[in-house]
Structure 1
């Protein structure tokens, strides 16, 4: 895990991989809870019997947005951004889903600092993200997240 305490420390990582999170197993319980929270009960996610026979994946799959919602969880395993007044989730950009995540798959996040800017004392960090699926050639998705960090002086 990297520790970042200010803009200058963050900037030294520009263009570099910041780290890789731990693996996380996507369970049916997690998929079902996400379906409840988002009111998205499409059978491909929640009907295990039907998915076994009718789905091209032969199992239920995680909601794409479930995998995206794990970004903060994984990000905090990669970077410990300290000395903050506040952090704001600013945007999610160019997320492209490349591979479905079947139930019981293990996923992890790779993060890279794609861009950084000092906006009148606010650090705007664009983090390139790739969610890998263990044993798969294609990632679950690629894209970028942008955070605004208000560091203490």
Structure 2
């Protein structure tokens, strides 16, 4: 379920809030190949299904940075921010990839607003703790603290 907020005061009120989980998204070989083409990372564990069968993961896996990039579209399922002039991805404070995402697996995002603080320029900075979960696995594919800024 999407939480909708309007303006900086409502964003600030999210501090400490668990935003829940997104829907599941299947990781396809087509998506992995497109990411490989976009980044120039064609390592065989990502794009060579035949060779990867005998590799350490028993098949091809998503790039770690592909998994990380999915935070944005999955996060958009959790939070709809209105009443601001601009929102920017300000960066990351910490990122880890505890387990691979095999092609064919489904992932979803869990997110909690760790804190919200004022920043210069009539804005707020939101720190989010996010976890990319893999269906059927106890170990997450990615854990990160993301930083977003929103300006009125």
| Distance in 1, Cα, partners of 2:150 & 2:74 | 18
Residue matched to 2:111:
111
Contact 1:7 1:118 (C-alpha < 8 Å) held by counterparts = no
Contact 2:5 2:80 (C-alpha < 8 Å) held by counterparts = yes
Residue matched to 1:146:
147
- Counterparts of residues 40-79 of structure 1 (less than 5 Å): 40-53=41-54, 55-79=55-79
**TM-score scaled by length of structure 1:** 0.95
SS at match of 2:58: coil
Contact 1:130 1:143 (C-alpha < 8 Å) held by counterparts = yes
**TM-score scaled by length of structure 2:** 0.95
CA drift at 1:58: 0.4
Q: Which runs of 4+ in 1 moved over 3 A?
A: none
Please tell me the root mean square deviation across aligned C-alpha atoms, in Å: 0.9
- Counterparts of residues 1-153 of structure 1 (less than 5 Å): 1-53=2-54, 55-120=55-120, 121-151=122-152
| Distance in 2, Cα, partners of 1:90 & 1:10 | 16
CA drift at 1:16: 2.0
Residue ranges of structure 1 left out of the alignment (5+ in a row): none
Aligned residues: 150
SS at match of 2:41: coil
| Distance in 2, Cα, partners of 1:133 & 1:127 | 19
Contact 1:3 1:81 (C-alpha < 8 Å) held by counterparts = yes
